[in-house]
Amino acid sequence: MSLDFFPGLDDLQSAGAKQQQLHEQAAAVARRHFGRKVFVRAVIEISNFCRENCEYCGMRRDNRDLRRYRFKLDELADLIIHQRPSSITDINLQAGEDPIAVRDIAIPLIKIIREKTPLGVSVCLGTLNESLYAELQNAGASTYIIKFETGSPKLYARRQSPGTFEERVGHICHLQDKGWNVSSGFICGLPDETDADLLNNFTVASQLPLDGCSVSPYIAGEATPLAKNSNCSIDLALNCMASLRLMRPDWVIPAVSALNLAGGTCGYQRGLATGANLVTINMTPTNERGEYLLYKRNRFIMTEDRVLSAIEAEGLEPSTESLAEFYRNASVVNFK
């Protein structure tokens, strides 16, 4: 599709009045397209085993000091069926790249969720084979979240991201071709990222067959080879989010929890003020939550109260329509 907006470095590096104008424009575009509704989902991090070795992630396979876990199916089923927050309409099952957890936990759990609840189901489980993708979809998941991480193939390889950049893009296209709603995303402010790399994130995002996209500020993981690098600034992350919204008014764009690590407790709310329209409540049981080591063990956990307070503070309200319903209805309209 043709784009009415594509960011320049002046947009991504804006400050002061120019930045405020950029953010206000992005928020206004989101409200025109989605109204004042914000999708509310929950995430459960079902396993922290991972066969990949990404330099920016604490769950990388070379981190021998991390206590690994996989939750029991019955524990998660009870949590979702009987203890889920009343505000959520969707559940996201997330893990390190762990095919065992996919087979033994995710697939049977999705079947239970679809049978026992009205929740839409998304998954963020890494690059898998075609058979596992099909089994997840047949079980009832409809959205696959798979980040392209960076628009630079060279930087992708340098940071030991999964497989090759070309393979990752191939998986994204395969999923979309098989009828998934696909959400992707990139990390801004990665060590060694150039201005050209930063801009190329938007080129790649615009060319992929996506229904949504996220921006995550780089946070130096405490158990990674990049631990001594500086975090991405909250301003760069928010400018990227605003630019993404202006580039694609129709996309679902989440406010990510890492915004609070980059910008303090107000970071998440500021994400909503730049056009984000999806928030996520963390439902991972507390006994293992600290072991899901994306960035730091001392995480800023988005509870239902924190999420709903951020929504209210921006004059927004939770959507009663699930993401799954939204995508399904949108596909019917587009088909017509």
- The bridge status of strand 181-188 relative to strand 143-145 is parallel
Region 92-105: mean pLDDT is 98
Tokens at residue 318, please?
């939770």
Q: How far apart are CA 113 and CA 307, in angstroms?
A: 23
Q: How far apart are CA 49 and CA 104, in angstroms?
A: 13
**Helix, strand, coil percentages, rounded to 5, for the chain:** 45, 15, 40
| Residue 297: pLDDT band with limits 50, 70, 90 | confident
Number of domains the chain contains: 1
Region 143-152: mean pLDDT is 98
89 part of a folded domain = yes
2 part of a folded domain = no
Q: How far apart are CA 31 and CA 52, in angstroms?
A: 38
Structure confidence by residue, pLDDT tens digits, 28-74: 999 999 999 999 999 999 999 999 999 999 999 999 999 999 999 99
User: Does residue 298 carry a pLDDT above 80?
Assistant: no
275 part of a folded domain = yes
| Residue 335: pLDDT band with limits 50, 70, 90 | very low
Residue 184 lies in domain: 9-335
Structure confidence by residue, pLDDT tens digits, 221-251: 989 999 999 999 999 999 999 999 999 999 9
Q: How far apart are CA 96 and CA 45, in angstroms?
A: 8
298 part of a folded domain = yes
| Lookup result for tokens 């409540």 | 281
CATH classification at residue 238: 3.20.20.70
CB distance 299 to 289 below 8 Å: yes
4 part of a folded domain = no
289 part of a folded domain = yes
